[in-house]
Amino acid sequence: METNTLRAYALVVEEGSFSAAARRLGISKSMCSKHISDLEDILGARLLTRSTRSVKATALGGEYYTKVRRILDLLDEANDYAKTESGTITGRLRIGMPMSYSLHALQPHILKFMEIYPEIQLECVFDDRRRECPIFCVTGIWSMLPERSKDDDDFQGTAGRTSEGLRAA
């Protein structure tokens, strides 16, 4: 049984919705539904009660969810441990920036950053409205970057370190 199927099941139970679970997984609603259908077929049991407005776990489905959640938590813990011990930098970095600035000044740096750190999920929010420069949402990631990146001329001037985290220069 694949972990993607178990994750889909856990999120459907937690969210009470195939659509919300699919959004969190980054898959289509029909794919999420297929994961659950396949799981129920494999187990030979109905795990969810579906209505037009919600999805709820059956009694068996609730017990199954508790065990699946424990397994997924242990798996995530094991993966996090292995990544930490191997020195791999992971996580999500959300950057807010004006579209015009990003196209001219940041695009090559963002592409290079993505090549160097493929395990970091980069989310760029483009907004040309004038306001104070937003703080990047990953506090402390600058201190986690290897020294070669901090001193890399390509990254100088692109971001700076503040007490709150990173700020666009």
Pairing of strands 120-126, 91-97: parallel
Residue 51 shares a structural domain with residue 102: no
Q: Report if pTM > 0.85.
A: no
Q: How many domains does the chain have?
A: 2
More confident residue, 99 or 19: 19
Backbone angles phi, psi at 88, to 5 degrees: -75, 130
pLDDT at residue 31 is higher than 90: yes
Residue 122 shares a structural domain with residue 158: yes
What mean pLDDT do residues 136-142 have?
40
CATH number of the structural domain spanning residue 39: 1.10.10.10
pLDDT at 136: 43
With vertex at residue 25, the alpha carbon angle to CA 37 and CA 10, rounded to the nearest 5 degrees, is 55
**159: confidence class by pLDDT, cuts 50, 70, 90:** very low
Domain of 99 in residue numbering reads as: 91-168
